[in-house]
Every structure is written in C-alpha cells, then in structure tokens.
Amino acid sequence: MAAVEWSSTRRAFEVAWLALVALLVAAVLDDELTRERTGEMRGVLVVSVAVDDTRDSRSGVKFDVNLDLSGMVDIVSDQNTLCLAYKAEPSSAASVHTVLHSVIHTQKERKKELQRMVAGEEKGLVLLDFWVSPFAQRCRIALAEKGLACESVEQELLGEKGELLLRSNPVHKKVPVLLHAGRAVCESLVILEYIEDAFPEVAPRLLSADPLARAHARFWADYVDKTVYGIGTRLWKLKGEGRAAARAEMLETLRTLDGELGGKAFFGGEAFGFVDVALIPLTSWFYSYEEHGGFSVQEEFPRLAEWARRCGERESVAKILTRPEDVLDFIGLLKKCYGIVE
C-alpha cells in the first residue's frame, strides 16, 4: 500500500474533491441506483449509496466508475451528508487504485429510515450490516440457508455511527443487529438462535433437535467467538513477541478446531449447521492471518482447509463471503487508522 505525504492543505483539498465526485456521481445515477444492484468491489472507484424514499429503500448499492485515483484518502464522516472510507489494492501496472467505499445519507433520509424501522413499519427482516464483518455475514448466511428475505442496511463503523445503530444496539454499538418488525436482536450467535426460534417451520434447521447436540454446537460456536477473531486481530496489530505469541495461539486454536472437525464433512456431522455458520465467515480472514503470522492453513490443517472449500461451494456462502484479498486491504486501512507501520 503506497504512502503519500500530504500537507494539511493538500489533504483537505483531496478529501473535498473526492466528496464532490461521490455526490455528483450519486446525483447523476440516482435513477439507476433505485433499480439495480451490481457486484463486487474492484480496483476502481466504488460508491455505495443508500436510497430511501416512500416507495423503495435500498442500501449498499454499488456501481463502478472508471476513475483511477492514486494515493490515500483519509476517512471522512459528516453526519449530514457523507461517510467515506477507502481501501487500496495494487493493479497489474503496480500502481495503486483507491477504492472508495462510501455510504451517502442525508439527515432527512436517516430520520425517515430510523422512524420507519424503529416504529415497526418495516414488517420484514432488516440487518444492520457492514460489508466485511464476519459476524454480520454469519447472519446473512443463516438467512440465505433458510431462504428468508432480509434487507441489508450498511452501517458506518469507521466514522460517526448512525442513529439507527446506536438506538438499536445502545450497549455495544456494533453490528450485526437484526430488526424484526422494528424489534432489535443483537450479537451474531444470539441472532442465529433467534432465527431458529422465530421461524421454527423453516428448513434447514441449523441446530439439532437433540439437546446434547445443541449444547455441543453452542459450546464450539462460543469457542470460535472467543478465540479466532481476537487472536487474529493481535496478529496484525502487534509486532515482535506479541505477534509471536498470537501466532502460537492461533495455531493452537486452529489445531483444536481441526481436531473437533476430524473426518466429518461438517462440524455437526453430515449437515451444514450452527458451528459451520459461526466459523466459515472467518475463513476469509485466514489469508491475512497467514500473511502476518507466517503459516499456511492448507499445509498445517488440510482437513480444516478442505472443510472451508466444501462450505464455500454452498451458494449461501459463496455469494456472501468477502474475498480474502479485500479483507487484507481492509486490514491495511485499519492499520493506517491505528498508526501501525510494519
């Protein structure tokens, strides 16, 4: 990731210019945005626009614009108009394309969205989401497995958090939050169980009907929750002895999970289930953990790697997981935010 030294004046100019570009593009393509969504982020400018009116509401709409930007852009978060973040990936020409991942909300749109959802006017399912969050992806995968329609509403997490998120999850103030007829359910594993309980007639069931098997699944999902992501964060945040200790813990954690998986197709046996949903979104982060920890999941834990490949063949997983390269770019953004220099 290229580093560019800017004066404060130059930086302010660049940020203001990018904000103007995003707003102009949103205005020109507003009609198109209300009609369709497009695919993954690539190495060109990508703007995500939240459109909210009385007829339709969409969030996280992405479209490509052939605008090549070099260098780095600071995060901009303006409550009334624009929230921007960025990531960068090298192009084939070894230059750096800046990908601008933005969410545009006017204050009026935020208020309308908040009033509609919290008042329960939205009778369906709404997920407060963040594009790279493995915890939000757990919920999306579970919903997709069951064929339950859900509106995903992208949240600003790197700048000022939105009013809807703060009101829906005032304790932790983080995603995911599932809104069901305006009522909030927080924390990803809690949401997975809520989906099981709220829609008991909808197959497939992610938790077994057997109490012992259910308890076993909850134990291992909780183990995943308390280990993988936190240890992985220490891997990319720390250096020296701290990173070495995190590496050892990660290998031990993956070894434990590999042992529990054994020769089974999935953690619960022959059927994709609760523990698989809990762990599979984190496999998109394995590449970044390998890069920072100097190990290979494929070489060290081939059964776990094969399980990840098997899960990745499921439509519910393939269409939701973030590309490992995009996760690595996002970690690069976080490192810049935290002032971490390799």
Residue pLDDT, tens place only, 37-62: 333 333 333 333 333 332 223 333 33
Helices (H), the chain: 8-28, 30-33, 107-118, 134-146, 163-168, 188-198, 211-237, 240-261, 274-279, 286-293, 297-300, 302-312, 315-318, 324-337
Closest-CA residue to 187 (of 128, 254, 267) = 128
Provide the angle, in degrees to the nearest 10, between the axes of the packed helices 211-237 and 286-293.
40
**Predicted pLDDT at 158:** 87
* CB-CB contact of 217 with 207 (8 Å): yes
pLDDT of 107 > 80? The answer is no
Is residue 4 classed as helix, strand or coil in its secondary structure? coil
pLDDT for residue 97 is more than 50: no
Residue 333, pLDDT score: 94
Out of 10-14, 179-183, 233-237, 249-253, which region has the weakest mean confidence (pLDDT)? 10-14
Cβ atoms of residues 206 and 274 within 8 Å: yes
| Total number of residues shown for the chain | 342
**How many C-beta neighbours within 10 Å does residue 165 have?**
22
Which of 175, 213, 189 has its CA nearest to residue 138?
189
Q: Count CB-CB contacts under 10 A for residue 313.
A: 8
> What's the start-to-end Cα distance of the chain, in Å?
11
- In this structure, how many other beta carbons lie within 10 angstroms of the beta carbon of residue 83? 25
CA distance linking residue 286 with residue 312, whole number of Å: 14
Q: Region 268-284: what's the mean pLDDT?
A: 98
pTM: 0.70
Task: Indicate the average pLDDT of the chain.
Answer: 76
- In sequence order, the β-bridge partners of residue 85 are 101
Using a pLDDT cut of 90, give the percent of the chain over it: 62
For the ranges 83-87, 152-156, 328-332, the lowest mean pLDDT is seen at 83-87
Report residue 191 as tokens.
């949401």
Q: How far apart are CA 321 and CA 125, in angstroms?
A: 20
Could you report the per-residue pLDDT of 116-158, keeping only the tens digit for each?
A: 555 545 568 999 999 999 999 999 999 999 999 999 999 999 8
- Tell me the average pLDDT across 213-221: 98
Most confidently predicted of 76-80, 83-87, 167-171:
167-171
C-alpha separations of 180 from 151, 168, 189 in Å: 11, 11, 16
Output the six-digit token pair for 213.
């098997």
Element (H, E) at 34: none
Question: Which regions of 66-191 does DSSP assign to beta strands (E)?
Answer: 76-77, 82-90, 96-104, 125-129, 150-154, 177-180, 183-186
